[in-house]
Structure 1
Amino acid sequence: MSEDQSHQFERGTDGPKVIVVGVDGSDSSLRAAAYAGGLARRQHALLAVVYVQPVLAAGAALGAPVAETTDEIAEGLIAEIREAAERVKDIFDVRWEFHTFRGDPYSGLVSAADELKADAVVVGASEQAGHRIVGSVAVRLVKAGRWPVTVVP
Structure 2
Amino acid sequence: MTEQHSHQFERGTDGPKVIMVGVDGSESSLRAASYAGGLARRQRALLTLVYVQPVMAAGAALGVPVADTTDQIAEELVRDIQLAAEQVKGIFDVRWEFHTFRGDPYNGLVSAADQLKADAVVVGASEQAGHRIVGSVAIRLVKAGRWPVTVVP
Q: CA deviation at 1:26?
A: 0.3
What is aligned with 2:4? none
Give yes or no for contact 1:16–1:43 (8 Å, CA) kept in 2.
Answer: yes
Structure 2: which 5+ runs fail to align? 1-9
Residue 10 (str. 1) matches residue 11 (str. 2): yes
The 2-side partners of 1:51 and 1:122 are apart by: 12
The 2-side partners of 1:37 and 1:87 are apart by: 14
Taking structure 1 as the reference length, the TM-score comes to 0.85
* 1:104-140 CA-partner distances (Å, limit 9, x unpaired): 0000000000000000000000000001111100000
Q: CA deviation at 1:88?
A: 4.1
What is aligned with 1:6? none
The 1-side partners of 2:20 and 2:27 are apart by: 17
Give yes or no for contact 1:40–1:46 (8 Å, CA) kept in 2.
Answer: yes
Q: CA deviation at 1:83?
A: 2.3
The 1-side partners of 2:48 and 2:129 are apart by: 28
What is aligned with 2:61? 62
Partner-residue secondary structure (3-state), 1:61: helix
The 2-side partners of 1:89 and 1:148 are apart by: 25
Structure 1: which 5+ runs fail to align? 1-8
Give yes or no for contact 1:41–1:94 (8 Å, CA) kept in 2.
Answer: yes
Give yes or no for contact 1:89–1:96 (8 Å, CA) kept in 2.
Answer: no
Partner-residue secondary structure (3-state), 1:49: strand
Q: CA deviation at 1:75?
A: 2.0
Q: 1:82 aligns with which of 78, 91, 96?
A: 78
Q: Identity rate of aligned residues, in percent?
A: 71
Partner-residue secondary structure (3-state), 2:51: strand
Instruction: Write the letter of the residue equivalent to 2:47.
Output: L
Q: CA deviation at 1:143?
A: 0.2
Give yes or no for contact 1:37–1:89 (8 Å, CA) kept in 2.
Answer: no
Residue 129 (str. 1) matches residue 129 (str. 2): yes
The 2-side partners of 1:86 and 1:93 are apart by: 12
